[in-house]
A and B are shown apart, each in its own frame.
Chain A
Amino acid sequence: MKYVDIEQVQKKMNSRVLINKLAKSLFLLSALFGLVILVILIGQVFIQSFGWIDMNFLTGKFSNDPNKAGIMGAILGTLWLMAVVAPVTMFLGVGTAIYLEEYAKKGKVRSFIQTNISNLAGVPSVVFGILGLTIFVRNFDLGSVVLAGGLTMSLLVLPIVVVASQEAIRAVPQYLREASYAMGATKWQTVKNVVLPASLAGILTGLILSLSRAIGETAPLVVLGIPALLIPFPGDILDRFTVLPMQIYYWTIDSALVAEYANLAAATILVLLVVLFTMNSIAILIRNKFQKRF
């Protein structure tokens, strides 16, 4: 006596297997959607910027004439911005991470700072722009200079560095610390000579990722009143400056007036993307090559 009607089962199974296959291809298509968009985006940027990137464009000054315009001012401004953001973020971010992981007792203070950092990570960047505008530009009367922009950006990317550094420090095994203590080292000596070198790769990765975020951010700088066009090049942290995203912003919104501005925007985007991809590749390289496995 048969309990199972094989034919019936087979019939039902076939359709279920078919639906599964269809769903699988649908999911695959979704997963490839991002890739397609990326190809279209980069393709468009390449096509539009074709013929517009030359030495004059890379080293020239800003100009309203599309054929003469260059982005050297924005490149220098971006470098100056990094010169402020990198040390400030590293100091604040790594310091906070060391405090939270090594010194703070598990309790209210620690969880308060931790919650605060994860909330800060969700604050829209434009709000950081308002903070910078009110405090640095107006209250400290700095004006829209490199220092004001850099400090604002540092606060914006701080959560990224703190979280990455915390993960890196947490990954250092306890026995390394214990070995250091056993040799008679004090807590700070252990942190300085054992924990930090062992977590350096992770910290650097986080720092580079936060810098690349700071390079690409536009909204806080628009709010700070950073100009989109700049004739004298910045040479000091108290000089006015512009950055690549601001240049892209200006040329994009004005492309309705002068059609060639769209090409200039695309060319600047290409430069910006090359910088960002290079930085991210370096971050990944550091993570893969130098990260010790304990």
Chain B
Amino acid sequence: MIDKNKKTISIGSITEKMVPGMLLAIATVSILTTIGILYTLLSETILFFTDIPFLDFYTGTVLKPLSSEAQFGILPLVTGTIISSVIAMFVAIPIGVMTAIYLSEYASNRVRRTLKPILEVLAGIPTIVYGFFALTLITPLLRTFVPGLEATNILSPGLVMGIMIIPMVASLSEDAMSSVPNSMREGALALGATKLEVTWKVVLPAAASGIIASFVLGISRAIGETMIVTIASGSSKAFTLDITQSMQTMTAYIVEVTGGDAPAGSTIYYSLYAVAMTLFVFTLLMNLLAQYISRKVREEY
């Protein structure tokens, strides 16, 4: 019996020794993914910059990838991305923060328990559905108010993107506000402040870093959002600031080029990677900034 036990123990101890190694191997897949992203983007981007000078790409205002005298300036895509993100944040920041204030400071437990799942549903709707919504409902609606609005324009997808981001801003801001200790609210209330004054002068300043982190994450989400802009903002590569016109974002350009079956090895094919690299760096910086800001908030309490 002792022999038998020894045998099972030795098999067990082999498993015991192998498991951590195997689990570590599994855990490295996430790191390999990051390395894979960086490697694919970098290697092809470098090839792109042997064709097109770095400065021309980042200062060029003309993007004509398909013309016989092809020009690759990324600025039309950058302005398209920034403008759609700014429009989105004009919707998402005020409504998101006010929703967070209501849920965290005013709502009864019952109301909060009903409203939060609805926000979660809104966050779970696929972006392709929002794209359909922007193109078939919001754009025709806006065209009755805004004269000169084109059938594809940057305004409508920007607004819809803002709606998509509201739940994110609201839930992260609410987390930040709920973590403000009650003693601070009670102190202000005891001095005779109204709830609005408590929110405005005590809770919001105390939760500021968490709320700002939610804005930064929201912007990052807007920059990376693809389907809504691909569907509703058109593919005009003109360098313009007119929000009633069609504009292309970096993400929509990537979709257009891959959908067009760019021959591998052509400059258009490499431009895809250069644009993706730019997009990746943009969003990475935003995410790191958000992490940095929200780490600071944790130190305060």
Whether both chains belong to one complex is answered with yes
Is B99 in contact with chain A by the CB < 8 A criterion? Answer: yes
Q: Is the interface of A mostly helix, strand, loop or mixed?
A: helix
A117 contact from B30, B94, B103, Cβ within 8 A: B30
Within 8 A of B (CB), among A1-50: 16-17, 19-20, 23-24, 26-28, 30-35, 37-38, 40-41, 44-45, 48
Interface residues on B, range: 35 or more
Q: How far is the CB of A52 from chain B (nearest CB, A)?
A: 14
Interface size on A, residues (CB 8 A): 90
Interface stretch, picked from A62-70, A195-203, A262-270, is A262-270
The complex places the Cα of A16 from the Cα of B199 at a distance, in Å, of 13
Of B46-54, B67-75, B280-288, the one with at least 4 CB within 8 A of chain A: B280-288
Contact A126 B129 (CB under 8 A): no
Closest B residue to A121 using CB positions: B287
Contact A124 B36 (CB under 8 A): no
A95 contacts partner chain B, Cβ-Cβ < 8 Å: yes
Q: A20-B195, A30-B98, A103-B23 are in contact. Are A219 and B122 (CB under 8 A)?
A: no
A170 to B136 alpha-carbon distance, docked (Å):
45
Stretch in A79-87, A128-136, A232-240 with 4+ CB within 8 Å of B? A128-136
**CA A92 to CA B27, docked complex, whole Å:** 7
B226:A38 contact, CB within 8 angstroms: no
Contacting B at CB under 8 A, from A139-159, are 155, 158-159
State which residues 91-124 of A face B: CB under 8 Å. 91-92, 95-96, 98-100, 103-104, 112-113, 115-120, 122-124
Given contacts A27-B101, A103-B23, A119-B288, contact A124 B128 (CB under 8 A): no
The interface residues of chain A lying within 8 Å CB-to-CB of B101 are 27
Q: How far is it, in angstroms, between the C-alpha of A48 and the C-alpha of B242 when the chains are bound?
A: 31
* Known A24-B195, A35-B118, A219-B127: A92·B287 in contact at CB below 8 Å: no
Residues from chain B with Cβ under 8 Å of A159 in the complex = 30
Q: How many A-B residue pairs have CB under 8 A?
A: 251
The answer to whether A123 touches B283, judged by C-beta atoms less than 8 angstroms apart, is: yes
**B255 engages A219 (CB within 8 Å):** yes
In the bound complex, CA of A104 to CA of B25 (Å): 12
Residue A245 at the chain B interface, CB threshold 8 Å: yes
B253 vs chain A, min Cβ distance (A):
10
Given contacts A41-B129, A126-B255, contact A131 B33 (CB under 8 A): yes
A–B pairs, 27, beta carbons within 8 Å: A24-B106, A27-B105, A28-B106, A32-B115, A34-B163, A48-B136, A95-B26, A103-B23, A122-B284, A124-B223, A124-B226, A124-B280, A126-B255, A126-B276, A215-B126, A216-B127, A219-B251, A222-B259, A223-B258, A225-B261, A245-B126, A252-B128, A252-B231, A255-B135, A256-B151, A273-B125, A280-B121
Q: Give me the interface of B with A, judged by CB distance under 8 Å.
A: 12-13, 15-16, 19-20, 22-24, 26-31, 33-34, 36-37, 40-41, 44, 94-95, 98-99, 101-103, 105-107, 115, 117-119, 121-122, 124-129, 131-133, 135-137, 151, 163, 166-167, 170, 194-197, 217, 220, 223-227, 230-231, 251, 254-255, 258-259, 261, 264, 272-273, 276, 279-280, 283-284, 286-288, 291
